[in-house]
Amino acid sequence: MDFLRSKEMFKRNVKCGEISENEIGKTVIVNGWIHRKRDLGGLLFIDLRDRSGIVQVVVDPKNISKEKSEEIQGLKNESVVGIEGKVKNRLEPNLNLPTGKFEILLQAFEIFSKSEDLPFNQFSSQEVDETVRLKYRYLDLRRPEIRKVFELRSRIIQAIRTFFINRDFIEIETPILTKSTPEGARDFIVPSRLNKGKFYALPQSPQLFKQILMIGGFEKYFQIARCFRDEDLRQDRQPEFTQLDVEMSFIEQGDILKLMEEMYKDLFKEILGVEIEIPFQRVSYVDAKKKFGSDKPDTRFGMEIKDLTDYFKETGIQIIRDGMKNGKVVLALFLPGGAALSRREVDDLKEQMTDFGLNGFIDFKIKKGEIISSFSKYLTEKEKSGILGTGQPDNLALIFVVNSKNGFDQVGRVRILLAEKYNLVKKDKFNFIWVVDFPFFAYNEKEGRYEAEHHPFTMPKPEDLEKLETDKEHVKALAYDLVLNGNELGGGSIRIHNPELQKRVFKAIGLSDVEVEQKFGFLVQALSFGAPPHGGIAFGLDRLVWIMNGGTGSLRDVIAFPKTTSGICPLTEAPNEVSKKQLNDVGIKTENG
């Protein structure tokens, strides 16, 4: 084909997946990729595919020249063509296709683009290495199941925008090139050519800008924001990601929680047809840790952690007694139906405990009001009442003796293992839960100082302000996280709007006056010119799409051009080296010259 000719292209007048009885007997033009070819009895059958679907095209050599027949015969799968032909009924319908009753008898065609031999068959059920798929991402994206993910993503974003616009929010873009204020993950930094020796940072979030928008009087802001964090990657993390960012003025914590509950109720109804009950359950950070062993609790199943320490204070079981002398606590999980497990199955389960840093557990079976175990004879009546009063018939009680500091987290991970292993999770449920009353500070043992658990712009609870300097461990924050099925969707807080309190918090996390001025002077100054009470929240959009798409695979599946766990883009081979001239322009020298 001569791509420079002025001849009008075979522009489609109907899509492949839209061929119906209305087109019978009509001449149509379709455009698309050759999905598959079959040569049967002198006739060539082509499945032509576009975004809408697939239609069968029949090539009869009698209807075109020998040259054209050989030309189309020689095309490989995934070549792109325009085809003109007459629609007719198929003699043998394919009821698995919406267009399976019809076919197009080819009269003329135009080749838009030829395909080379494919590195893999993207439509095969055979597993293909993910790095290969990402290197040829454009082939992978042609799969209908991949395309549906991004159609879903688009619909979710549109529904979110509509929700906020209808509630008088203003969508505002904040800068991508901004100031480095490293108080969490590492920044991605960008050298400035015009200001040699100085650097921009890509934003980890629009946090400070959205607060300044509130100081600027906008009152209601939202943004579908791009964010960047230079941190070690896992299956569920990307160096660049998308979040829904929201901020409001003249509100309290309950106002934001209510707004978000309404958004998720509307969103799940519109996109999935699922009714979500509001208000969502709320649990304090402390209770989440004690009941579920996690600040991201999965509440689709029960099996809460039970603290039986008080029942075992005078125990005759030596392993428990010795542990409690060393300040350990006694925690229990009650596995529904676990009393039916064999001794071998229970022992196999014990062996898995080393994966969680545990030395196993003591097990008791509860059957018909009795406790069955080799340790039963050592139990006091109080201990029996603790087990029987907490467990249910046919439960297996797993008793752990753990450190009070991290033991709840360890048992919480066992809770998840048991739920998955014994199919206790209700996969069709969407259980939202707010975790509130977070600690304001977290102690960084490496640096020997307290730092902000969320970020230093969070408002401490008013009743804890007097503890800021003297009792950091017990200061709570007006901060909240939303968790869905054990996944943290996002979080937020009420912000500090008083410049003097903001300075106190900076000082409490060990920042000097000079550091405050260098890093956050512009924020403190802005707060000094009349700042309204304000607060907000941010949600990871990628994770939300992943959950609404079924929650299988990884976050990379819902991002069009994701990075690998080593931060590499196999498609573009980024990051890459740049020329010496580019480095000289920004005043940078590398170690290897």
| Structural domains of the chain, ranges and CATH numbers in brackets | 16-113 (2.40.50.140), 148-283+433-558 (3.30.930.10), 301-425 (3.30.1360.30)
Percent of the chain past pLDDT 90, that is, above it, reads 88
Work out whether strand 281-284 and strand 432-436 pair parallel, antiparallel, or are unpaired: parallel
Please state, in angstroms and rounded to a whole number, the distance separating the CA atoms of residues 496 and 527.
9
Please state, in angstroms and rounded to a whole number, the distance separating the CA atoms of residues 276 and 279.
9
Work out whether strand 441-444 and strand 449-452 pair parallel, antiparallel, or are unpaired: antiparallel
pLDDT above 70: residue 183: no
Using alpha carbons, select from 142, 160, 163, 164 the residue that is nearest to residue 152: 160
Q: What is the mean pLDDT of the chain?
A: 94
Q: What pLDDT does 2 receive?
A: 41
380 torsion bin: left (phi>0), alpha (psi -120 to 50), beta (else): beta
What residues does 286 pair with on adjacent strands? none
Q: What pLDDT does 5 receive?
A: 39
Q: Which of helix, strand or coil describes residue 221?
A: strand
Question: Which residues touch 25 (CB under 8 Å, ≥6 apart)?
Answer: 86, 87, 88
Using alpha carbons, select from 394, 419, 393, 421 the residue that is nearest to residue 339: 394
Contact status, residue 497 vs residue 531, Cβ threshold 8 Å: yes
Helix ranges, 125-229 (H): 130-135, 137-140, 144-165, 207-215
Structure tokens at 365: 């079976």
pLDDT above 70: residue 382: yes
Q: What pLDDT does 7 receive?
A: 55
pLDDT above 90: residue 449: no
pLDDT interval class at 328 (50, 70, 90): very high
pLDDT above 90: residue 363: yes
Please state, in angstroms and rounded to a whole number, the distance separating the CA atoms of residues 173 and 162.
17
Please state, in angstroms and rounded to a whole number, the distance separating the CA atoms of residues 17 and 7.
27
The tens digit of pLDDT for each residue in 192-204 reads: 999 999 999 999 9
Using alpha carbons, select from 151, 57, 155 the residue that is nearest to residue 109: 57
- Lowest-pLDDT choice from 43-52, 145-154, 231-240, 516-525: 231-240
Q: Comparing 427 with 500, which gets the higher pLDDT?
A: 500
Around Cβ 254, how many Cβ atoms within 10 Å? Answer: 10
Please state, in angstroms and rounded to a whole number, the distance separating the CA atoms of residues 194 and 586.
8
CA 221 distance to own-chain centroid: 23
Residue whose pair of structure tokens reads 């050519």 in the numeric block: 193
The tens digit of pLDDT for each residue in 107-129 reads: 999 999 999 999 999 888 778 99
pLDDT above 70: residue 3: no
Please state, in angstroms and rounded to a whole number, the distance separating the CA atoms of residues 12 and 484.
44
Angle between helix 513-527 and 207-215 (nearest 10): 40
- Lowest-pLDDT choice from 234-238, 469-473, 587-591: 234-238
pLDDT interval class at 4 (50, 70, 90): very low
Q: What pLDDT does 262 receive?
A: 99
Q: What pLDDT does 153 receive?
A: 98
pLDDT above 90: residue 454: no
Please state, in angstroms and rounded to a whole number, the distance separating the CA atoms of residues 163 and 155.
12
- Burial label for 216, CB within 10 Å (0-12, 13-18, 19+), is middle
Residue whose pair of structure tokens reads 């004879």 in the numeric block: 377
What's the sign of the alpha-carbon dihedral 545, 549, 552, 558? negative
pLDDT above 70: residue 85: yes
pLDDT above 70: residue 235: no
Q: What pLDDT does 593 receive?
A: 58
Please state, in angstroms and rounded to a whole number, the distance separating the CA atoms of residues 593 and 576.
16
pLDDT interval class at 1 (50, 70, 90): very low
Work out whether strand 306-307 and strand 329-335 pair parallel, antiparallel, or are unpaired: antiparallel
Around Cβ 564, how many Cβ atoms within 10 Å? Answer: 14
Amino acid found at 561:
F
With vertex at residue 440, the alpha carbon angle to CA 434 and CA 441, rounded to the nearest 5 degrees, is: 130
Please state, in angstroms and rounded to a whole number, the distance separating the CA atoms of residues 30 and 174.
43
Q: Which of helix, strand or coil describes residue 287?
A: helix
pLDDT above 80: residue 79: yes
Q: Is the previous residue joined to 279 through a cis bond, with omega within 30 degrees of 0?
A: yes
The tens digit of pLDDT for each residue in 8-64 reads: 778 999 999 999 999 999 999 999 999 999 998 789 999 999 999 999 999 999 999
pLDDT above 70: residue 6: no
Residue whose pair of structure tokens reads 């229990």 in the numeric block: 332
Please state, in angstroms and rounded to a whole number, the distance separating the CA atoms of residues 242 and 150.
14
Averaged pLDDT for residues 150-176 = 99
The secondary structure of 487-507, three-state, reads EEEEEEEEECCCHHHHHHHHH
